Chain A
Amino acid sequence: MYTVPKLEDFSPAALDAAAAELLAALVAESHAAADPRSFEEFRNRWMARKNGVLTQVNDLWLKAAPSPAKRDVGQRVNALKQRAEALVAEAEQLAATAALGSKLKSETIDISLPGIERPLGVRHPVLRTLDELISVFVKMGYSVAEGPEVESDYYNFEALNFPPNHPARDTQDTLFIANQEQRAQRDRLLLRTHTSPVQIRTMEKLVPPVRVICPGKVHRNDAPDATHSPVFHQLEGLCVDTNITFGDLKGTLDHAMKSLFGSAVKTSFRPSFFPFTEPSVEVSISCPFCGGKGCRPCKQSGWIELLGAGMVDPNVFGFVDYDPKKLSGFAFGMGVERLAMMTYNVDDIQQFFYGDMRFLEQFA
């Protein structure tokens, strides 16, 4: 360890040599002071006012210098001190950087571990599909209408031109509310089998023009299996005004399907039968999943039957006091679960109703 020598020779050359030796020792010792604590010791040893190395230089070199040399020695010692201080400061900077480096190193974590996720809830795939359908039609000027899920025979059937005991009722496996036998048939309560009753309720309330969609839950007496559920959702729409034509029905649904599935999608229309529309039509779209080449959702046909539709039957207008000679309109409807199953590749409709977290979280 460096100690300050007593000087015999106070000549400039001798002083410079002694200073160089001191500075070399300082640098060497600073390198050895790696951690903050030894650096602190190092600095005290060299810089302490009381008995620090530089203080000793003062005592041993400056004070001991003969008078004629004092001026020159004083200048050289001052220069030495400044240089030493600069070196110490430099060393301090290096030490601090090194210390921070090792601190940060010690704080290193395994960034390959998974993040801490704060769970976000997930919209139900069926309701998410319904949201998308609603938004397409709202943009086209349709308002949303709602109605009760428990309906009377009148609204679910009669006013929709399903006469009592008509075979068309067989297609709607209906769940009935108990203890209705004493009531007139039209007042008997049942679970709506389609959202079409909302069309009747809407027309009863509104003066045309009417443009509504009716999203909602419906029920049928269908035993649950991979493609049937006693509970499911429909979206229906109704547009009534003067001069609404079958061409408007086609154009509207073509536009809506392109909004939903992209402009490349084509629509096809073929005759069908529903008691509440005439003419009735079944609407297919070119398969948006395979582009028409054939895949599972389209059963390799390239086409998917998606909607039932038609021009509102004049008899239905009769039930709501609309004049069928002045007014015309179209209605359409579709099953939401089926579309959701195709969109998300779900092969069992029951999955929608288990509340299985592993299932739902796939739709995040």
Chain B
Amino acid sequence: MKISPNWIRDLVSPAATDRDVAEALTVSGIAIEGYFGEGADQTWEAEITTNRVDAMNHYGVAREVSAIYDVDLAPLAPTVAECGPANFPILIEDAEGCARYTARIVRGVKVAPAPAKIAHRLELIEQRSISNVADASNYVLNEIGHPTHAFDLDKLEGGKIIVRRARAGETITTLDGVERKLLPEDLVIADAVKPVAIAGVMGGEATMITFSTHNVLVESAWFDPASIRRTARRLGMHTDASHRYERGADPGITQLACARVAELIVASAGGSVSAEVDAVARTLAQPRIALASSEVKRILGVEIPPAEIARILHRLGFKVEGSGPEFHITVPTWRLDVEREIDLIEEVARIYSFLKIPNTLPSFAGGVIELPNARKQAALRSRLLSLGYNESLSSTFIPQEDARYFAVSAGAAEPVRIANPLSEEASFMRTTLVPGLLLQVAYNLNRGNSDVRLFEAGHVYAMRGEAVDEHNSLAFVSTGGARPSGVHGKPEPLSFFHVKGDIEQLLAAFTAPGVTFDRTVPAWLHPGRAARAQIAGNTVAIFGQLHPEVAAARKLKQDVFIAVVFVEALYQLALRQPAYTPISRYPAIERDFSFVLPEGVEFESIRHKLAALSIAELTAILPAETFRGGSLAAGSYSFLLRVRFQSAERTLRDDEVANWSQQIVSAVETLGGSLRQ
């Protein structure tokens, strides 16, 4: 809010420059964050935290100055010459919603533009000057912080004010010209016939002050914060009045504020003021709190002399009983935020100044405990970085169709919907990291970045009954060249096998006995170029080429490879602990076999057959080359198999190598293969 330092100086006179005062206020909790204008017309932009509604006005800020500089605050004592009783009953039907309603009637006013001084001050703090009567209320709001309202008395029907809940079906057109439907939970100010204001939020158009108004009823009330907040929120209204009532206005100031408004009206618009009508439905207790100097020390870590504690609280308007080390403190009516000893300690600390409290370091016994999967997570991350994938972050939110389509597990659970999403495209929580990464691939391709390698680790979500299941996931995506083209050679296009190699590098970080690959993959992957990796029956990854139709639908004009790693399954496995195996001193023997195989016989089945031979000295089974076409019959292909034999204990004999070679040929023959002639 805007503060005029010149106005502050009407209320308190510290021996310091405005700039020093602003800085002292900032250090004490009223943050002055901007300076505008010069001299008497200078204003400050003050950032006042939501709990400090008492300081959202000049008098409140002046009170802070008084405490900081230990100087007196000018008393507020409006004077009005009362001309007789108001004869205007106030009935509070809802004591919960309205604790107190104070009113005065000013008769015979002449509504006109506001006097220059008032108009100028309001304009300085960016308030619009309307008329002498309306401005009186607004001036008081900014002076002492209490919201008041002025009704055109002659538009109030039935000669009374009733504070009540709205009746079903009632409506009111507010000052801003909008007709509002009221609910029975809304607190209203009504005359004998109709609602004339939404209590604490905005007055009604029908009873507003106009230039033909002669008689005015000034309202100064205290409304329950929760009630005001509920109504204001429901109606989407946020006014200066509701802002303060929601946060807790001062229940002890209604009479003073009412008199002050009346005083200003008479001074600027003439008229005569009635006696006050003060309806009190209930009184709010003023807490009396025990405060111990020892507790101040325990929390702040610094000894503040009892006299200093008493002085600070007294200057802030607290009633201080005792002289320490124990005090009894009565909280002023304007500090609804202060209820406990700790709240008093904060008051003392901030005026004493946080900066004067010495920095210390706590002593500490105990060790740092690592998260259970921290090392596994770090291993995956560092391997992906080493493999050349850039770490990325994508949105948590995806469109509904993606949430369902890209779900990776069979019998996928219900995706999680957001009640108040930012947009339709962001209305579901991601069920997998795939759509987010595909969006990023598209972003890159659209900008001419044709080589993309990204990974993301993050949570994915699904409903589980009433609860939301949240899992760690990891995905990586690549497109473009494994090696870019250029002066150094031909480009090497990415393939399924690059991704498979990367998956194998990741799995190699773990103690992963027997990784198996099969073709059970979701529909969004290319059915012929995708695989699922499993360890001991648990899926640890699915990966491969994005289905060309999915790529086309997303306008991805090059092959995209993507992998999803089920990290929580991997985390069940221990990290591989490297251990040394002695390197054989005896030579290895390599043998090549050129087979012709029927189409459909996969390398894995050959590897499996050869492993089943249980030849301890068979140390490597390598697919060296495949070839199709030429003189080969359709439905068959040639396959060059390279194997390596080695013993840790001896040099191998030719006859045993020949014997094993024969076993290998026989094994491949059982798959329909034959040695090429």
- Give chain B interface residues in 12-56, CB to chain A under 8 Å: 26-29, 31, 49-52
A36 close to chain B: CB less than 8 A: no
Q: Would A121 and B391 be within 8 Å (CB), given that A246-B357, A358-B449 are in contact?
A: yes
Closest to A143 in B: B369
B527 close to chain A: CB less than 8 A: no
Which one of A113, A241, A254, A355 lies within 8 Å of B454 (CB-CB)?
A355
A353 touches B395 (CB 8 A): yes
Which one of A121, A179, A247, A279 lies within 8 Å of B385 (CB-CB)?
A121
Interfacial chain B residues near A29, Cβ < 8 Å: none
B350 touches A279 (CB 8 A): yes
Output the least CB separation between B360 and chain A (Å): 4
B229 close to chain A: CB less than 8 A: yes
Closest to B355 in A: A269
B49 touches A165 (CB 8 A): no
B76 close to chain A: CB less than 8 A: no
B298 touches A177 (CB 8 A): no
A289 close to chain B: CB less than 8 A: no
B600 close to chain A: CB less than 8 A: no
B389 touches A252 (CB 8 A): no
For the complex, give the distance between the alpha carbons of A259 and B443 in Å.
37
Interfacial chain A residues near B366, Cβ < 8 Å: 141, 209, 211
Interfacial chain A residues near B396, Cβ < 8 Å: 149, 191, 217, 219, 230-231
Which one of A123, A223, A271 lies within 8 Å of B422 (CB-CB)?
A223
A148 touches B394 (CB 8 A): no
Which one of A119, A149, A252, A269 lies within 8 Å of B459 (CB-CB)?
A149
Output the least CB separation between A194 and chain B (Å): 15
Interfacial chain B residues near A116, Cβ < 8 Å: 488
B393 close to chain A: CB less than 8 A: yes
For the complex, give the distance between the alpha carbons of A248 and B302 in Å.
11
B393 touches A270 (CB 8 A): no
B359 touches A254 (CB 8 A): yes
Interfacial chain B residues near A268, Cβ < 8 Å: 355
Output the least CB separation between B484 and chain A (Å): 9
A230 touches B299 (CB 8 A): no
A16 close to chain B: CB less than 8 A: no
Interfacial chain B residues near A143, Cβ < 8 Å: 368-370
Interfacial chain A residues near B392, Cβ < 8 Å: 124, 355, 360
A150 touches B416 (CB 8 A): yes
A178 close to chain B: CB less than 8 A: yes
Which one of B354, B365, B416, B426 lies within 8 Å of A177 (CB-CB)?
B416
For the complex, give the distance between the alpha carbons of A249 and B518 in Å.
56
- Give chain B interface residues in 345-376, CB to chain A under 8 Å: 345-346, 349-350, 354-355, 357-362, 364-371, 374
Closest to A278 in B: B342
Interfacial chain A residues near B441, Cβ < 8 Å: 355
Output the least CB separation between B384 and chain A (Å): 6
Q: Would A189 and B468 be within 8 Å (CB), given that A270-B354, A355-B443 are in contact?
A: yes
Interfacial chain A residues near B369, Cβ < 8 Å: 143
B388 touches A119 (CB 8 A): yes
B49 touches A273 (CB 8 A): yes
For the complex, give the distance between the alpha carbons of A120 and B383 in Å.
10
B557 close to chain A: CB less than 8 A: no
**Interface size bucket, A side?**
35 or more
B397 close to chain A: CB less than 8 A: yes
Closest to A219 in B: B396
Closest to A209 in B: B366
B470 close to chain A: CB less than 8 A: yes
For the complex, give the distance between the alpha carbons of A183 and B465 in Å.
13
- Give chain B interface residues in 415-433, CB to chain A under 8 Å: 416-422, 426, 429
- Give chain B interface residues in 91-115, CB to chain A under 8 Å: none
Which one of A141, A142, A175 lies within 8 Å of B420 (CB-CB)?
A175
Which one of B360, B394, B439, B449 lies within 8 Å of A248 (CB-CB)?
B360
- Give chain A interface residues in 306-361, CB to chain B under 8 Å: 311, 313-314, 328, 352-358, 360-361
Output the least CB separation between B46 and chain A (Å): 13
For the complex, give the distance between the alpha carbons of A358 and B364 in Å.
45
Output the least CB separation between B506 and chain A (Å): 13
Q: Would A357 and B452 be within 8 Å (CB), given that A122-B385, A248-B301, A352-B393 are in contact?
A: yes
B628 close to chain A: CB less than 8 A: no
A246 touches B301 (CB 8 A): yes
Closest to A163 in B: B226
Interfacial chain A residues near B340, Cβ < 8 Å: 314
Closest to B300 in A: A246
A281 touches B364 (CB 8 A): no
A48 close to chain B: CB less than 8 A: no
A231 touches B395 (CB 8 A): yes
For the complex, give the distance between the alpha carbons of A157 and B160 in Å.
43
Closest to B50 in A: A167
A127 close to chain B: CB less than 8 A: yes
B470 touches A148 (CB 8 A): yes
Closest to A246 in B: B300
Output the least CB separation between A196 and chain B (Å): 17
A273 touches B50 (CB 8 A): yes
Q: Would A250 and B357 be within 8 Å (CB), given that A239-B362, A244-B362 are in contact?
A: yes
A176 close to chain B: CB less than 8 A: yes
- Give chain B interface residues in 549-599, CB to chain A under 8 Å: none
A124 touches B300 (CB 8 A): no
For the complex, give the distance between the alpha carbons of A241 and B365 in Å.
10
Interfacial chain B residues near A248, Cβ < 8 Å: 301, 360-362
B455 touches A241 (CB 8 A): no
Which one of B300, B371, B391, B439 lies within 8 Å of A247 (CB-CB)?
B300
Q: Would A271 and B384 be within 8 Å (CB), given that A230-B397, A278-B342, A355-B444 are in contact?
A: no
A355 touches B301 (CB 8 A): no
- Give chain B interface residues in 438-489, CB to chain A under 8 Å: 439-441, 443-444, 447, 449, 451-455, 458-459, 461, 466-468, 470, 487-488
Interfacial chain A residues near B395, Cβ < 8 Å: 230-231, 353
B390 close to chain A: CB less than 8 A: yes
For the complex, give the distance between the alpha carbons of A224 and B394 in Å.
13
For the complex, give the distance between the alpha carbons of A278 and B339 in Å.
12
Interfacial chain B residues near A224, Cβ < 8 Å: 422
B246 close to chain A: CB less than 8 A: yes
B241 close to chain A: CB less than 8 A: no
Q: Which one of A126, A254, A352, A353 has the greatest number of beta carbons of chain B within 10 Å?
A: A353
B361 touches A251 (CB 8 A): yes
Residue contacts A-B, CB under 8 angstroms, 30 given: A119-B388, A121-B455, A148-B470, A150-B461, A175-B421, A176-B419, A176-B420, A177-B417, A177-B418, A183-B466, A209-B365, A217-B396, A219-B396, A221-B422, A230-B422, A230-B426, A231-B395, A244-B362, A247-B302, A248-B360, A248-B362, A269-B355, A271-B28, A278-B345, A280-B346, A353-B394, A355-B390, A355-B444, A356-B443, A357-B444
15 additional A-B residue pairs with CB within 8 Å, beyond A178-B419, A209-B364, A243-B362: A121-B388, A122-B390, A138-B368, A143-B368, A175-B419, A177-B416, A177-B417, A230-B395, A231-B393, A251-B361, A279-B345, A279-B346, A354-B440, A355-B452, A361-B390
Those 4 A-B pairs whose CB atoms lie nearest each other, nearest first: A245-B301, A355-B440, A271-B29, A247-B301
